[in-house]
Amino acid sequence: MRAISKRFGPVVANDNVDFDAAWGEVHALVGENGAGKSTLMSILAGLYRPDSGVVEIDGEPVRFRSPRDAIGHGIGMVYQHFMLVEPFTVAENVLLGERRSRVNLETARVERELAELSERYGLGVDPRAKIWQLSVGEQQRVEILRLLYLGARILVFDEPTAVLTPQEVHSLLRTLRDMAAQGFCVVFISHKLDEVLEVADRISILRRGQIVATTTAAESDRRTLARQMVGRELAALVEHPADEPHEAVAPKEMVLELRGVSALGEKGLPALRDVDLDVRAGETLGIAGVAGNGQTELAEIVTGLRRVTSGSIHICGKSMTNRPAAEIARAGVAHVPEDRLATGLIGGMDLSENAILRDYDRPPLCSGPFLSTKAVTAFTDRLINLHDVKTPGRWAKLRTLSGGNQQKLLLGRELAGEPRLIVAVHPTRGVDVGATEAIHASLRAQRARGAATLLIGEDLDELLALSDRIAVLYEGRIVGELPAHGADRARIGLLMAGVAETEPAGVGEQADG
């Protein structure tokens, strides 16, 4: 890619960018949300046309009128926000982009081929499942499988490891290395700098629409990459997230208590099975697990978005089992959902409208049936300033913000009322290191204030950095719990993979003696 520039109105997304990736290498592209990574790669994948500059493959200039043109040249990308049709099955979504497709859709053939690819690359997903039945993590796997099925040889991966256990992450990174060794050209976009350093041959850093450096893993480290991405030094929490244990808290009053909770998933099958857990004031309980093991359902039953089939839920000593979501929110429960644009925010509304979605019908935001424009303006501006939301103004449409700034607005809105319980699901998924630092700081401040937090995620670094205890969820059951500080990552990874804990060797012999 040579001298690529792209503007959206007054905003310069890419400014005379030169970027190249070779056959047989993994080239990582890193940068803050809004730095221009997605725009640059969307130009490569045929979604956008550059205002100036040229894309070359093997030295030959190419012009793409659509993503289909790019796929025809062997280029495919998994976007951060998935391009899937929810009522269709996995196989049907793949068929939408297949050049061989005719009037009669050969779904049986596609299902067989997807199953083979799934097995080969360790990206398990049911080809017959409908997209709306899948978790966000499983949908990401569908996008990766779709690229492989369509025969792309220039592969752009955006955060591909977010849904994997530590063991599976290393396996996938080895797969990407193997694909590069087989002649694929792999572009790897990730905010997980350890992964970037592990897998990449070269690393390019994009900041404010320009490539500011291209280096190799051997010549760089986490601190250097983070500083180049944001233009300043970052807190130790982001640089070495699991090495900074926070101060232990004394046991306080119970805020959340689940006893024997079971619930069904979207397919009508058991998703949670006899779950017991509790979170106290000033404590963070981290829930680890691979996507699709009940994490989404756990968050939904606590926040009133899904009914339980058995068991009880108590919040601050009051029964909240199967109570409406609005009543639970009024009881002081904040919710940072798994998919911010599907559940938490509305892209077509401006920032002010999104900022008041939670409490628009309560003073001081309203007076009787009427909104108070002055109060709404003051509240929105306070959220923007307090959480450093980068935006032209409160009137901007939410969809024009980067993912990190959308997430900071959502978090700020949910924390504005000083909630007693915070249910945070993947709070930094798809968010750059600068926004991650701010979100972590906000969650820690809430913990210090005395809020209880149920933190659901797949990033072990984040869970270990923010949690007091870690509980592992597998096939809808809590299969293990341990203190976060000093936790054995390998042990957590095995629990996430469904390997049951065993008695340490020698225990039985010592007891007999």
Per-residue pLDDT tens listing for the chain (513 residues): 999 999 988 878 899 999 999 999 999 999 877 788 888 988 999 989 999 999 999 999 999 988 889 988 999 887 766 788 989 999 999 888 665 555 556 788 899 999 998 888 777 789 999 998 887 667 878 888 888 888 889 999 877 776 556 666 777 788 889 889 888 999 998 877 888 999 999 999 998 899 999 999 889 888 888 888 877 666 544 444 444 455 555 658 999 999 999 999 988 999 999 999 999 999 999 999 877 889 999 999 999 999 999 999 999 999 999 999 999 999 999 999 988 888 899 999 999 999 999 999 889 999 888 999 999 999 999 999 998 888 888 999 998 887 788 999 999 999 998 999 999 998 987 677 777 888 899 999 999 999 999 999 877 888 999 999 999 999 999 999 999 988 888 888 888 877 765 434 333 334 343
The CATH H-level superfamily of 2-239 is P-loop containing nucleotide triphosphate hydrolases (3.40.50.300)
Peptide bond before residue 50 is cis, with ω within 30 degrees of 0: no
Q: Which tens digits make up the pLDDT trace of 105-161?
A: 678 889 999 999 888 877 778 999 999 888 766 787 888 888 888 888 999 987 777
Q: What is the pLDDT of residue 511?
A: 38
Q: What is the pLDDT of residue 242?
A: 47
As given in the structure block, the two tokens for residue 123 are 């990206």
Q: What is the pLDDT of residue 507?
A: 36
The CA dihedral of 150, 152, 157, 160, to the nearest 10 degrees, is 40
Measured distance CA(68)–CA(64) in Å, rounded: 8
Question: Cβ of 169: how many Cβ atoms within 10 Å?
Answer: 23
Measured distance CA(86)–CA(101) in Å, rounded: 20
Q: Which tens digits make up the pLDDT trace of 268-286?
A: 999 999 999 999 999 999 9
Q: What is the pLDDT of residue 308?
A: 97
> What's the half-sphere exposure (Cβ side, CA atoms, 13 Å) at 1?
28
Q: Which tens digits make up the pLDDT trace of 395-453?
A: 999 988 877 889 999 999 999 989 999 999 989 876 777 778 888 999 999 999 999 99
Q: What is the pLDDT of residue 190?
A: 81
* Topology annotation, domain 252-496: Rossmann fold (3.40.50)
Handedness of CA 407, 337, 171, 39 (dihedral sign): negative
The CA dihedral of 249, 253, 255, 256, to the nearest 10 degrees, is 90
The CA dihedral of 299, 302, 308, 314, to the nearest 10 degrees, is 150
Give the three-class secondary structure for 38.
helix
Question: Which run of H or of E encompasses 277?
Answer: strand 270-280
Question: Which run of H or of E encompasses 118?
Answer: helix 107-121
Q: Where are the domains of the chain?
A: 2-239, 252-496
Question: Which run of H or of E encompasses 254?
Answer: strand 254-264
Helix axis angle for 403-415 and 433-449, nearest 10°, is 10
Q: What is the pLDDT of residue 379?
A: 95
What average pLDDT does the structure give for the chain?
A: 86
